Amino acid sequence: MKHFLKTTVTLLTAALLCAALMTGCTRLTEAKDNTPSTTGTPSAAGEFGVYVKLERDDVASLYIHGGSFSKVCENADGSPLKAGEWIYTGEDIKEIRKNAIHAGLKLVDCPIRHLGTEKAQELYLAIQNYLADNGVEMRFNTECENIILEEEGCKGVLLKDGDSLLPVYADEVVIGTGRRGADWLEKLCAEHHIAHKPGTVDIGVRVECRNEVMEKVNKVLYESKLIGYPKPWKNKVRTFCQNPGGFVAQENYDNDLAVVNGHSFKEKKSPNTNLAILVSHNFTEPFNQPIAYAQKVGELTNMLGAGHIMVQRYGDILDGKRTWAKELAQSNVKPTLKDAVAGDITAAMPYRAMTNIIEFIKMLDMVVPGFAANETLLYSPELKFYSNKVKMDENLDTNIQGLHCLGDSSGWTRGLMMASVMGVLMGRKLAEKEGC
């Protein structure tokens, strides 16, 4: 059997492979037309509530006419925005934060740049081609059966090669399988005594409403990151992955588990905005299978929807009734996920999670009036599998020599941006070991 000798072998899904290498894929609000000044400073339409176009890369000297500009936007790698890019600033952000505080919510104000789903694909392909041109071997549609352990630590991985196993040896092994591989990694940790602990699992819904309702938030923040602890249990509930003018989408996990997600394209737009509302679940002893718990919730929802994503109007939930396809057809909010099945998501969603979601929506309505409208749509299930938290030191070393974990499957990140940063850190650590 042929042995492949590698210095480092990395187990990554295609998505996380790209995410781990992306250092500047944040989101930035779309710019208004604004004529730059000729003074070498950013242009501005007024003192407050303006889009500022950078004329120079020297953003440290930014100012706005009539007042100071205290917040400089940076890329994820710490580099400043480049000349020709735009920043929104103004009193609108303060108003949104004030309303959030009044509602008992915390606004996480983070300047973002929107890449767009279709543009991201172009970037991913460019990264893939760059790696391939520089001698990196990538194997898609290839399963990793296990890791190779010897007395001195991890020495490689076992790949499925038809009916046989192909060993691939390496000095360093990095596991970054993404949320989809969290269950596999959890089983691996238990089998090989990789130090870990049960972490958080997120169970929730994807909410969809008209763009008009979210107009101010979309304009000012693009993505509103709000956190709350609604009564009676005060579990952490948060918004996640907001897509102005976006589309609700279905993604499939192992064992045909269908979960809901959202996309936002740069060019193609819908009349709706969608975002996730996620309830964080932290379980206590003796229970130690949070991923399996979330999967069961998803399987039950899939069963009720005959394998499809289910959708229900918010008003119908409050009225204690299911939603019918005829009612959806008559609503102002048309589902962007066309094959979603109208039904009753409360029949599958745990009572505690559903109550948290309803109360959180009421709180959001104080920040975004109209969000808790009867016609607002809730899709289920939205599940985030990153509950197994691998114990690692500052060098991202596990208790197994030569074995490292990163990304959402490690339990240390929540989404592409954080996974990207962790991937960059991992790369730097390995480069230091190699003396690069």
Q: Which of 21-25, 107-111, 274-278 has the highest mean pLDDT?
A: 274-278
Query: 316: part of which helix (H) or strand (E)?
Result: helix 314-319
Q: Which of 113, 8, 82 is nearest to 416 (CA)?
A: 113
Mean pLDDT of the 117-145 span: 89
Residue 252 burial class via C-beta count within 10 angstroms: exposed 0-12, middle 13-18, buried 19 and up: exposed
What pLDDT sits at residue 9? 77
Residue 161 has pLDDT above 90, yes or no: no
pTM for this prediction: 0.74
User: Residue 395 and residue 425: Cα distance in Å, rounded?
Assistant: 9
As a whole number, the mean pLDDT across the chain is 82
Lowest pLDDT segment from 94-98, 111-115, 310-314: 111-115
Mode of pairing for the β-strands spanning 67-68 and 196-198: unpaired
Mean pLDDT of 101-119: 81
- Report the pLDDT value the prediction gives residue 63, as an integer from 0 to 100: 43
Whether 401 contacts 170, CB under 8 Å: no
Number of Cβ within 10 Å of residue 76's Cβ equals: 17
| Continuous H helices in 24-116 | 91-103
Task: Copy the structure tokens of residue 37.
Answer: 């000044």
pLDDT band at 8 (very low <50, low <70, confident <90, very high): confident
Q: What's the pLDDT band for 197 if we cut at 50, 70, 90?
A: confident
Q: Which CATH fold would you assign to the domain 4-23+117-197+389-433? A: FAD/NAD(P)-binding domain (3.50.50)
> What pLDDT is recorded for position 307?
94
Number of Cβ within a 10 Å radius of residue 327: 16
Determine the pLDDT at residue 103. 98
Distance between the two ends of the chain, CA-based, in angstroms? 32
pLDDT value of position 253 = 85
Going by pLDDT thresholds of 50, 70 and 90, the confidence category of residue 80 is low
> Which tops the pLDDT comparison, 361 or 57?
361
**Mean pLDDT along residues 54-68:** 45
Distance in angstroms (rounded) separating the CA atoms of residues 294 and 77: 34
Mean pLDDT of 308-323: 98
Give the C-alpha separation, 269 to 65, whole Å.
34
Least confident of 1-15, 192-206, 294-308, 321-335: 1-15
In the chain, domain spans: 4-23+117-197+389-433, 50-103, 200-384
Res 75 pLDDT > 80: no
Q: Averaged over 110-135, what is the pLDDT?
A: 82
Q: Give me the pLDDT at residue 29, please.
A: 32
Instruction: Give yes or no for residue 44 having a pLDDT over 50.
Output: no
Mean pLDDT of all residues in 294-311: 96
Q: Quick one: pLDDT at residue 283?
A: 85
Q: Which of 365, 369, 305, 370 is nearest to 337 (CA)?
A: 305
Of residues 171 and 61, the one with the higher pLDDT is: 171
